[in-house]
Every structure is written in C-alpha cells, then in structure tokens.
Structure 1
C-alpha cells in the first residue's frame, strides 16, 4: 500500500510539473487564434471567435516571415555544418594526442562552457575586421557552441579503439583519409545529437543575431517578431502566431529525434 501511495504521489508531482510546460504552450497557441483585443488581454480563456487562418496569413504576409525563414535556413545550415566539422576534428586531435599540451588545450576549450560570450567586445572585433552580417553571426554562433560540441565528441572518441587508427595508418591512409573515411562514419550517434541540439539553439537564437543581423532584410525568423511591435501598440495576436510558427519546427524535430539525443549524450560515457 505504501509503495502504491508513493507511486501516486510521484505521478501527481509529475503531472503538476508538466503544467509548467503545458500551460505556456497552451497560452501562446490559444492567443494566436484571437483578435487583437482578445490577445492583448493575455488570458487563458478560449477565444469567442477563432481566427484560424486570418492571423497566420496576415502574419506571414506583413511580417517578412518568408524572408526570415530563408535567412534562418542559411544561418542554421552553415553554422551546424561548420560546428560538426570543426568540433569533431578538434576533439579527435585532442583526444588522440595524449600529451600535456593537448590536455591544456582541452581545458581551455572547456572554459567556453563556463565563460559567457561578451557580445559587445565581440561585435566591435568583427566590425574592425570587416566581418559583418551573416558571416559575423555564423562565426559567433559557431564559437558559442564549439566547446559543447568538442566536449561531446571527446567523450565519444574514448569508446573508439586506437587500434583502428593504427591499422589504417599501417595501410597507408593519410590523416584526413583516416578521419573522414574511417572515423567520422563511426560518429553518427553523437553527430546526430549535436546536429539536433545545435539546430534548436541556432534556430531559436535571439541574443547574437539581434546584434549582427539588425536589418529587416537580414532578420532570421526569430527576429521577425519585431515587425509586430510598435512604440504605442503591439499586435499580440500576430506575435503569438509568429511564436507558434517559429517554435513548430524545433518542437517537431525534438519530438521525432529525442531518442537520438539521449543515445548520443550517453554514448561513449562508458569505455568498452
């Protein structure tokens, strides 16, 4: 009986905790179907009249969302691809070269997980180097995710025997052939994990892109929310519709691929 009560208590606590996630989602989705006055009331009540297509079509037409989707796709694709290549190659080098210098460099890389990005100095550095708009945003996004990607790959490399490297080298395979032809295909679980996590982070990024893509024609889809904010009034129904549209791809990707995230995070945690 006591075990059953404990289970009920745990399930009840889980249901209450889930409300912390479900209620904000419900709030955003419901208000995206209200008129301007109804959405401005910021309530959880169902709309008296449902604007299923009106809000979303107006939001897409007037908010530059299609341009934002194109910009988001460009920035996200290039950032994630560069991050996978750079972090995997760095992790492979640092993990395989078991020297004091490689250990020191690895610790320096891990500092990136603890030290936050200083956005204002970074902005002026890119400005004086004449690295602007898309390239500057991509470089900053890669830098902010580089430490995590390297950490993830380094743990996975511990589960790949060094004998594979030695056999390939004895067969005359060069360093790049060794990595891209033999090692990299073995990294699929952790690579998928990094792609998913980086995709969600870059697609939803607001703090970096607002500085480097601060023109409406360069806005990512996340920044198009500014098109519905004014000095004296805001179209909250269109803002909520914009949030739903921006969040939908990320939520869908996470729900479909969450198993790969768990598998990739745990892969390599136990050697052998």
Structure 2
C-alpha cells in the first residue's frame, strides 16, 4: 500500500499538470467554432451556434492562407535541407579532427545554444548585403538552429567507429564519397530527429519571419494571423481558426514521429 500511494499521487499530479496544455487547446478549438461576438467573449463555454465549416472557409478565403502555406513550405523545406547538409558536415569534421582548434570551434558553436540571435543587427547585415525576403529568412532560421543540429550530429558520430573511415580511405575512397556514400546513410536516426525538431521550429517561427517576410504576399502561414487583426476590432473566431490550422500539421507530425525524436536524441549517448 505504501508503494501504491506515491504512484497514484504522481499520476494525479500528472493529470492536473496536463490541464495546463489541455485547457488552452480546448479554448482555442472551441472558440474557432463561434461567431465573432462569441469568440470575443473569450470564454470556455460551448458555442450557442456552431460554425463548423464557415469560419474555416472564410479564414482560408480572406486570410491569404493558401499563399501562406506555399511560403511556409518553401521556407521550411529549404531551411531544413540546408541545416542537414551544414550540420552533418560540420559535425563530422569537428568530431573526426581531434585537435585543439576543432575543440575550440565546437565550443564556439555551442555558444549559439545560449546566446540569442540579435535580430536588428542581423536584419541590417542582410539589408546591406542585399540578401532579402525568402533567402534572408532561410539563412537566419538556419543560423538559429545550426548549433543544436551540430550538437546532435557530433554526439551521434561518437557511436560510429573511426575504423569505418580508415577502411574506406585505405580502399581509395575520396572524402566526399566517404561522407555521402558511407557515413551519411548511417545518420538516419539523428537526421530524422533534426528534421522533425527543425520543421516544428521553422514552421511555427514568428520572431524572425516577421522581420524578413514583412509583406502580405510573403507571409508564412503563421504570419497570416495579422490579416484578421485590426486597430479597433479583431475577428477572434477567424484568429482561433487560423491558429488551429497552423498548429495542426506540427501536432500531427509530432504525434506520428515522436518515437524517432527520442531514438535520435539518445542514439549517440553511448559510444558503440
């Protein structure tokens, strides 16, 4: 009995803490089915009249959501692809070259996990270099995730024996063929992990894209929320519908692939 009580207490505490996530989700979804006045009341009550499809249809038609989805797909896929190539190659070089300089560079890269991006100086740098709109946003988003991606790959490389590299070099394999033909296929667990985590981060990004994609025709789907905000009034029912639509792909991807996130994060924790 004494062992069961702590278990039940922990489960009860977990259920209570889950309300911190469940209640906001319920609030957003329920209010996305209300009319404008009902959603503006910001209550948890169920709608008196359900607008199951009309709110979402109006939001998609009036909010430029289809254009936002296209822009989000462009920015997200380009950023994730750039991250995979840069992080995997950088981490391979730093981990395999066991020198004082490589260790120093790795520490400098890890500082990026703690030092936030200075968005205003970054904006002016891209402006004076004439790097604008999509390319600037992609570069900045890749920079903000570069340290974390390199950290993941570096830990995973420790589980890949150096003897594989040495055998390939003895057989006359060049550096690019060694990496892309032999090493990179072994990185599948950590690569999938980085794809999922960076996809969620880039898709939901607001702070960077608002500076570099600050025109309605360049908005990502996350920024289309501005189309329903006004100076004196806001269409909160459409805003909540927009939030649900924006969040749905990320939630679905996470629920389907969360197992790969855990596998990739722990795969390099033990040297094999």
| Global fold match (TM > 0.5) | yes
The alpha carbon displacement at 1:62 in A equals 0.1
Aligned to 2:175: 175
Aligned to 1:215: 215
Within 2, Cα distance between the matches of 1:257 and 1:135? 28
Within 1, Cα distance between the matches of 2:152 and 2:132? 30
Aligned to 1:130: 130
Q: Secondary structure at the match of 1:2?
A: coil
The alpha carbon displacement at 1:8 in A equals 1.0
Within 2, Cα distance between the matches of 1:152 and 1:5? 39
Q: Secondary structure at the match of 1:66?
A: helix
Q: Unpaired segments of 5 or more residues in structure 2?
A: none
Which stretch shifts more, 183-192 or 2-11?
2-11
Q: Unpaired segments of 5 or more residues in structure 1?
A: none
Aligned to 1:243: 243
Aligned to 1:255: 255
Aligned to 1:58: 58
Alpha carbon RMSD of aligned pairs, Å? 0.4
Within 2, Cα distance between the matches of 1:190 and 1:30? 37
Within 1, Cα distance between the matches of 2:79 and 2:111? 21
Aligned to 1:39: 39
The alpha carbon displacement at 1:59 in A equals 0.0
Q: Secondary structure at the match of 2:33?
A: coil
Aligned to 2:7: 7
Which stretch shifts more, 1-10 or 85-94?
1-10
Aligned to 2:141: 141
Q: Deviations over 1:116-170 (max 9, x none)?
A: 0000000000000000000000000000000000000000000000000000011
TM-score by length of 1: 1.00
Q: Secondary structure at the match of 2:3?
A: helix
**What pairs with 1:177-216 in structure 2 (closer than 5 Å)?**
177-216=177-216
Within 2, Cα distance between the matches of 1:203 and 1:259? 20
Does the alignment pair 1:25 with 2:25? Answer: yes
The alpha carbon displacement at 1:6 in A equals 1.1
Within 1, Cα distance between the matches of 2:7 and 2:125? 56
Q: Secondary structure at the match of 2:269?
A: coil
Within 2, Cα distance between the matches of 1:93 and 1:7? 47
Q: Which runs of 4+ in 1 moved over 6 A?
A: none
Q: Secondary structure at the match of 2:172?
A: coil
TM-score by length of 2: 1.00
Within 2, Cα distance between the matches of 1:265 and 1:258? 11
